[in-house]
Amino acid sequence: MDSLVTELQEFRKEIMTKYPKKVGKKRAKSIVVSNPDNPPEIQANVRTVPGIITQRGCTYAGCKGVVLGPTRDIINITHGPIGCGFYSWLTRRNQTLPVDENDSNFITYCFSTDIQDSNIVFGGEEKLKQAIREAYELFHPHTIAIFSTCPVGLIGDDVHRVARHMMEEIGGGINIFGFSCEGYRGVSQSAGHHIANNGLFKNLIGRNDEIRGSLEYRVNLLGEYNIGGDAFELERIFEKCGINLVATFSGNSTIQKFENAHTADLNMVMCHRSINYVAEMMETAFGIPWIKVQPIGASSTAKMLRKIAQYFGEKKLVDRVEEVIAEEMVEVGEACKEARKHTTGKLAMLFVGGSRAHHYQDLFEELGMTTIAAGYEFGHRDDYEGRRVIPNIQIDADSRNIEEITVTKDATRYNPRKTEEELKELEANGMEFNEYHGLMKQMERGALVIDDLSHYEMDKLIERYHPDVFCAGIKEKFCVQKMGVPLKQLHNYDSGGPYAGFKGAINFYRDIEMIVSASIWKELKAPWESEVHIEATFVY
């Protein structure tokens, strides 16, 4: 590894000299060499330099597509040009499974106001009202959400006023609310997550106290979005263990589950980046503690189950969890052993979103592969460096005051919470509440960590290190493959999945084994191998 350290350091310097001075200086702060014992400071969650080709998406995508998108019985109307609705329509492969014919599923529809030039000039609120009327007449949903796109913010349409107006006009207890999630609001999707979390808390969580299912072992899973069927596999595992999953935010979810989520005893946070705000608000308002879990990778899934069993502390659950792990690990072990014959020693690079560049490293480790470079598109410093969260939260001015919920909803009367002493004892026994270790603690010493990777940097990483697999998204896929390196999409899994849980790990082992064993990639020549190319230097 030592030679790699020096090499990677040199690589970093070389990249910096290719940018204009100011840009190079800025980018240098977002490119660091990993030291797991003492993670260095990294610049993250800052604006991408204009002109750089980024992997990032927008605030609207983070709010509408990511957090609210996977809930099947809410009608999500995009107020904006048709392209925004169209491009956030099912490409993420978030799946859902209605339980019976009375259960609505609107995910397969794309609802948009399709605003035109005349709406930009004269305003689009009337068109939005009409869209809500039509959606209601056709589908009779009990909940409708409106999502603002960039032009809507620029012309000043008030989606919240329209929501209030239409709630009154339609009546009958329909819930309609809007999100000011214009694409330009933040530096990435991340701002959209925060806006969505506030909206969930303000408009849905805690609205319905009716207990469904048994009172035993009630948990919520936060930050799981059922990509490629991940939630189905996790639901299978929880059910097998006898763990009662009240709500998932938001894979395979329904509005009723969100409304009931405050009746759970423990919140588990899977994707910290997109949902930590809900975990913290629920802790403050309802006293529900949260722990970070990571059910991507077989051993981390087992670790999650053991944490849940430890939390409830009942022998019945502890034994059942051990039985399930032992049973599931037989097939996992065989599949892993088989795959490792071809995957051991291979190199991976992961540049995905705000948590998967970290989570998928467990699976690569199980395959005996090394991640030599990784980073997030829109992670914050805590996602890299880790943090201990002190539950003292600040909520955006336009979201509802959470004290209001604290006084009106006392969920503890339904499901007795652990006392302070019990929580302290659990902590003394290794249960980490409000704790998130971040990506850098897990990366090999000397590996490169790059935030908001640019296209140029990606080209150079590939040219120099030629990884056996590069993990990213659709925008990178074909550029990378033209360089003779297979790209595995870790956003929508291409056509694969599930990859979560035990069965998911097996699917992943097999898919990666196939990818790194395919001989076709050797036949492809990258542009720099087959073409004369001219290098230019920026003079300023």
Name the site residues for ligand HCA (rule: CB under 6 A): 57, 61, 65, 91-92, 189, 353, 473-475, 489, 491-492
Smallest distance, ligand CFN to C-beta of residue 494, A: 12
Q: Is 437 among the catalytic positions? A: no
**66-99 b/e with 16+ CB inside 10 Å = b?**
bbbbbbbbbbbbbbbbeebbeebbeebbbbbeee
Q: Give the whole-angstrom CA distance, residue 463 versus residue 471.
A: 15
Between 411 and 440, how does the x/- string for binding to ligand CFN read (CB under 6 A)? ------------------------------
DSSP-based three-state secondary structure for 101: coil
- In 3-state terms, what secondary structure has residue 53? coil
DSSP string, 3-47: HHHHHHHHHHHHHHHHS-HHHHHHHHTTEEE--TTSPPP---S-P
352 binds, among ligand CFN, ligand HCA, none (CB under 5 to 8 A by kind): ligand CFN
Reference 1, options 445, 533, 313, 393; nearest CA is: 445
List the catalytic residue out of 79, 193, 273, 380: 193
Number of residues that bind ligand CFN (CB under 6 A): 16
CB of residue 57 to ligand CFN, shortest distance in Å:
7
Q: What is the rounded CA–CA span in Å between residue 135 and residue 148?
A: 17
Q: Which does 183 bind (CB under 5 to 8 A by kind): ligand CFN, ligand HCA, none?
A: none
Tallying the residues shown for the chain, one arrives at 540
Report 51-70 residues binding ligand CFN (CB under 6 A).
62, 66
3-class SS of residue 500:
strand
Known catalytic residue at 320 = no
Partner touching 475 among ligand CFN, ligand HCA, none, CB below 5 to 8 Å by kind: ligand HCA
Contact 293, 304 (CB under 8 A): yes
Both tokens of residue 403? 């004290």
Nearer to ligand CFN, 484 or 501 (CB): 501
Task: Give SS3 for 489.
Answer: strand
Q: Does 199 engage in binding with ligand CFN (CB under 6 A)? A: no
Options 102-110, 175-183, 221-229, 290-298: segment touching ligand CFN (CB under 6 A)? 221-229
Smallest separation (angstroms) from ligand HCA to the CB of 369: 22
The interface with ligand CFN within residues 245-284 (CB under 6 A) comprises 271, 273-274
Token pair in block for residue 390: 């002190």
474 binds, among ligand CFN, ligand HCA, none (CB under 5 to 8 A by kind): ligand HCA
Q: 257 is in the binding site of which of ligand CFN, ligand HCA, none (Cβ under 5 to 8 A by kind)?
A: none
Is 61 catalytic? The answer is yes
Answer yes or no: are the C-beta atoms of 424 and 418 closer than 8 Å. Answer: no
* Contact call for residue 227 and ligand CFN (CB under 6 A): yes
Evaluate whether 195 touches 181 at the Cβ level (below 8 Å). Answer: yes
The number of angstroms, rounded, from the C-alpha of 150 to the middle of its chain's C-alpha atoms is 22
CB of 274 to ligand HCA, least distance (A): 10
Q: Which residue lies nearer to ligand CFN by CB, 346 or 356?
A: 356
Element (H, E) at 359: helix 356-366
Which is catalytic among the residues 27, 92, 320, 358?
92
The catalytic residue among 27, 44, 61, 335 is 61
Task: Give the one residue of 355, 361, 434, 442 binding ligand CFN; rule: CB under 6 A.
Answer: 355
Residues that bind ligand CFN (CB under 6 A): 62, 66, 92, 189, 223, 225, 227, 271, 273-274, 352-356, 491
> Where in the sequence numbering do the catalytic residues fall?
58, 61, 92, 193
